[in-house]
Chains A and B, each alone.
Chain A
Amino acid sequence: MAAPVLSRRSVALLQPFAIVVVIVLGVEATGLAGSILDHWGDILYLTRQQIELVAISGALAVLAGLPLGIVLSRPAFRRIADSAMQTLNVGTTVPTLAVLALAMSFLGIGRIPAIFALWIATLLPIVRNTYVGLLEVPDHLIESAVGMGMKPSQILWRVELPNALWVIFAGIRTAIIINAGTAPLAFLIGGGGLGQLIFTGIALDDTGSILAGAIPTAIIAIFADFLISGFARVVVSRGILPVE
């Protein structure tokens, strides 16, 4: 058999760009490219705004979710871990629209309630994967670590977290994709972002406008996922990474 022209790794690297090319070609084929590009100025401005929303709420969710997942996985907290997880589940099962409305009712309108609502929607996958990832570290690794004379904090940092990292990153990726896909709703409570183009397009029955908001939203999600998985491959030990 002939050697593949591209290695698996370069295929993985090219994937998001390929998806973008497909989207662009698809749009071109529908003949809507012109009406989308009419919004070019808005697209650039609102995309930037939306990236900020996603980045800030996503970063805050990671900052809160990781420690929460770690704390819940500690033996002292395992008893309450299930109920805590249920509570967080509520945050995900309540429609984000409702969370936005609630956030608006006590935080007012603007970016802050939007970021808060996205944060809530993003938190659970991160907490859950951190918690589960840490619990799934085999007992005999912990036993070895204890038996060799590691302190609990050394076990957490040198054994548990490094071995749970791939699962944790999977949670972060899921979370950020949800986040990026939900972000247009922020427009409804004055949080800005590409929702402006989408909802205006819906109101005016302007497909070009809807696509002008939807396509960058999808691209943000794809590239966010791409960046995080790339980062994961750098950070996670080669001994843990799934075999390619």
Chain B
Amino acid sequence: MITLDNLTKTFGPPENPVVAVDRVSMEVQQGDICILLGPSGCGKTTTLKMINRLIPKTSGKIFVGGRDTDALDAVELRRTMGYAIQQIGLFPNMTVEDNICVVPRLLKWSDATARRRAAELLEMVALDPAVFLRRYPRELSGGQQQRVGVARALAADPPVMIMDEPFGAIDPINREIIQDEFLRLQQTLRKTIMFVSHDIDEAAKMGDRIALFRNGRLEQFDTPNNVLAHPANGFVADFVGADRALKRLRLLFVREAVDGAAPAVDSTDPLDRAVQLMREHGHERIVVLDATRRPVGQLRLPIIEGCHGTCAERIEALQATVTPEDDLRIAVSRMFTHDTVWLVCIDGDGRFAGHVTQRGITRLLGKTHRAPAQAIPRESVA
């Protein structure tokens, strides 16, 4: 959808140029969020702004939807791309409605259509149109302004969005909320998004692809999991941080780590059976289910060894559970909180879906760590 081909930007005199962006080539697929990531001055914002021609490029090509953007008028091009920036840039003289209607009106939509669109978009970003359409930007909180900024960028339903640290100016709690909302929107909208960030956590969370820049060069362009698992070089490894294995936990889900074949006993089963199953599987704990396969508690081997009777007599409460949709960060966090290496996984109906163990998670991280390296030999990026 968006292809950069040897994109270069130099500033200053031709005899002694400062290279801001150095022969960057990359391709972003339709419907993907590509995060341009890197420290300040790495060329990520310059690269972004060359796409909508806020900064003229020095050389190279930019294709959007297969068309060379040089062939398009800059103003027309920008109207086909949603644009959101860190300072939000809502026009203080306009109501929320007029702000959202800016591009539709530039595109000569009828007033009624533009207004209907504005109301629809406010709903989409979780703001009540009846309350907010008539407000002015200064009557909104930072988070609300940011939502309107996103709504405005989406106004004319552009296939491409250009976002320059759009959630950079919000407090961490609201940022998480807005990021989640945005990802939910993106699941239905499937826009192709170029998104500048300097925050590896945001990049790992939001990105389908991460393009990591240093000194105007593209150091690595890969999925967040691969960037974290296989940093292309020392710079990337440093940038993503020594805790990159922990960051990957967020990208993997319980459903990938769950052992669905884990044994379980019925509360009416004799304790002997529980002991036998645990010994067979080498487990210290086993989950107890009711007649509808819903977990009701657990048994621990050291406690029930040598006891007789039914499982129901020795049952202990389950401390924590996870669902297949939880990410592994949540699972590991629960393990630490409850001082356990074992969690029961419950599906959407409350039924037993297997268990997650610390060893299972470690093994998964190791597996996904090695798999792509065998599949695709990596090109050296230099």
Contact = CB atoms under 8 A, between A and B. Distances in A.
Interface in A215-244: 237-240
Given A149-B75, A149-B103, A140 B89 contact: yes
A163 interface: yes
B205 interface: no
B61 interface: no
A138 B136 CA distance: 17
B54 A147 contact: yes
A237 B138 CA distance: 12
A165 B93 CA distance: 10
A159 B162 CA distance: 21
A143 B93 contact: no
A237 B94 contact: yes
A48 to B, nearest CB: 37
A13 interface: no
Contacts of B103: 148-149
Given A147-B52, A148-B78, A149-B76, A240 B93 contact: yes
A143 B54 contact: yes
Interface string B91-108: 111110000001100100
A144 B94 CA distance: 14
Contacts of B152: 148
B136 A148 contact: no
Contacts of A147: 52, 54, 78, 83, 85, 162
Interface string A116-153: 00000000000000000000001011011111111100
Given A146-B78, A148-B102, A148-B106, A140 B87 contact: yes
Contacts of B54: 143, 146-147
Nearest to B77: A149
B160 to A, nearest CB: 12
B137 A148 contact: no
A201 interface: no
A110 interface: no
Given A147-B85, A239-B137, A159 B91 contact: yes
A147 B136 CA distance: 21
B106 A240 contact: no
B106 A154 contact: yes
Most buried by B among A150, A165, A239: A239
Nearest to A138: B87
Contacts of B88: 140, 144
A237 B78 contact: no
B369 interface: no
Contacts of A138: 87
B47 to A, nearest CB: 15
A148 B79 contact: yes
Most buried by A among B85, B94, B137, B162: B94
Most buried by B among A141, A147, A150, A238: A147
A162 interface: yes
Interface in A155-176: 158-159, 162-163, 165
A143 B79 contact: no
A11 B376 CA distance: 76
Contacts of A154: 106
Contacts of B138: 239
A168 to B, nearest CB: 13
Given A140-B85, A237-B136, A239-B138, A149 B92 contact: no
A145 to B, nearest CB: 8
Nearest to A159: B91
B106 A150 contact: yes
B352 to A, nearest CB: 52
Contact of A163 (B78, B83, B93, B162): B93
A239 B93 contact: yes
Contacts of A144: 83, 85, 88-91
B246 to A, nearest CB: 35
A149 B95 contact: no
A180 to B, nearest CB: 29
A237 B106 CA distance: 20
B122 to A, nearest CB: 17
A141 B91 contact: yes
Most buried by B among A140, A144, A163, A237: A144
A97 B88 CA distance: 51
Contact of B83 (A148, A159, A237): A148
Contacts of A238: 136
Nearest to A139: B87
A236 B90 CA distance: 17
B75 A151 contact: yes
A130 to B, nearest CB: 16
Nearest to B76: A149
Interface of A: 138, 140-141, 143-151, 154, 158-159, 162-163, 165, 237-240
Given A143-B54, A148-B78, A148-B83, 5 more contacts: A141-B91, A141-B92, A145-B89, A159-B93, A237-B92
17 contacts: A143-B54, A143-B89, A144-B83, A144-B88, A144-B91, A146-B78, A147-B78, A149-B75, A149-B79, A149-B106, A154-B106, A158-B102, A163-B92, A237-B92, A239-B94, A239-B95, A240-B93
